[in-house]
């Protein structure tokens, strides 16, 4: 069985400088496919260009932590202009784009919250129009993210990337049609609440991810996270779950395809 990393930034260093070599090492480690989300206008085209690689799927979106400072402070219509440009690019790309993201809300940046909410709400509507699943960044604002999705009656599903929260919060996202991204957070001793949630959630709600080169694993020896660490994350998940490893592995693969609207 092969692995699917549902969230990694392969256009970032250290991957972008020798991506072909990195992809070869991934395949050798049974990581056969990766989803690469964009985060801001300056990497939308770069990520889109990766769609020609058979093992990669791409998503385009505007990450809440990358909102253009100039767009926020110097011109009130600049953010909307960037979002309109994003929608045009997604439409022109057609089936080269498999999802919309990375987008969402980040409670660590309260000074931009009004703009974050505007951009996220706008992208929810755009993704619904394009019938694309969402790759959602949700930090400290799970309830608000769920509320906005429900208000817009979003029905395309997707993945709550790098989830860290309670069982109740995760279940709310699952009820809205989303999968829960299981990443390096599961390896940290302080993440007991997260592990309890992942243990209780239904098997068909889970997918694997690394968020490489970010989201380091506990006591990770590499300088950067990598899709090669999917096996470590999987072993941590096995320890939490009651299903046999083979059943869990197959379900994670099937769930990834379902979340991203890929043929089973």
pLDDT in tens, 184-226: 999 999 999 999 999 999 999 999 999 999 999 998 778 799 9
Q: What are phi and psi of 67, to 5 degrees?
A: -60, 130
How many residues appear in the chain?
Answer: 264
Q: How far apart are CA 77 and CA 89, in angstroms?
A: 18
pLDDT value at residue 17:
92
| CATH superfamily assigned to domain 3-259 | Metal-dependent hydrolases (3.20.20.140)
pLDDT value at residue 1:
78
Helix H or strand E encompassing 178: strand 178-182
Q: Hey, where are the domains in the chain? A: 3-259
pLDDT value at residue 70:
57
Structure tokens at 179: 């999968």
143-163 pLDDT, tens digit per residue, is 999 999 999 999 999 999 999
pLDDT value at residue 75:
65
In contact, 252 and 230? CB cutoff 8 Å: no
Structure tokens at 165: 């929260």
Between helix 41-49 and helix 78-93 the angle, nearest 10°, is 10
In contact, 207 and 159? CB cutoff 8 Å: yes
* Residues lower than pLDDT 50 in the chain: none
In contact, 145 and 138? CB cutoff 8 Å: yes
pLDDT value at residue 74:
58
pLDDT value at residue 71:
62
Structure tokens at 21: 């070599």
pLDDT value at residue 220:
78
From residue 149, give the alpha-carbon distance in Å to each of 60, 119, 193, 248. Answer: 18, 13, 24, 28
pTM value is 0.97
């Amino acid at each position: 069985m092969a692995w699917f990393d549902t969230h990694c930034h392969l256009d970032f260093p250290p991957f972008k400088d020798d991506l072909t070599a990195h992809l070869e090492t991934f395949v050798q480690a049974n990581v056969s496919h990766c989803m690469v989300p964009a985060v801001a206008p300056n990497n939308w085209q770069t990520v889109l260009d990766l769609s020609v690689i058979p093992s990669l799927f791409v998503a385009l979106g505007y990450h809440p932590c990358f909102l253009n400072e100039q767009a926020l402070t110097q011109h009130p219509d600049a953010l909307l202009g960037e979002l309109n440009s994003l929608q045009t690019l997604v439409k022109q790309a057609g089936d080269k784009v498999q999802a919309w993201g990375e987008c969402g809300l980040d409670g660590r940046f309260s000074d931009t919250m009004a703009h974050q909410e505007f951009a996220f709400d706008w992208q929810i509507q755009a993704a619904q129009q394009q019938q694309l699943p969402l790759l959602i960044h949700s930090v400290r604002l799970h309830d608000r993210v769920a509320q906005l999705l429900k208000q817009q009656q979003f029905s395309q599903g997707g993945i709550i990337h790098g989830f860290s929260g309670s069982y109740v919060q995760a279940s709310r996202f699952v009820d809205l049609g989303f999968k829960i991204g299981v990443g390096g957070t599961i390896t940290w001793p302080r993440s007991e609440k997260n592990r309890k949630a992942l243990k209780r959630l239904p098997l068909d709600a889970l997918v694997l991810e690394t968020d490489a080169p970010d989201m380091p694993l506990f006591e990770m020896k590499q300088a950067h996270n990598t899709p090669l660490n999917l096996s470590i994350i999987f072993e941590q998940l096995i320890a939490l779950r009651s299903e046999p490893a083979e059943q869990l592995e197959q379900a994670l693969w099937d769930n990834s395809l379902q979340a991203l609207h890929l043929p089973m």
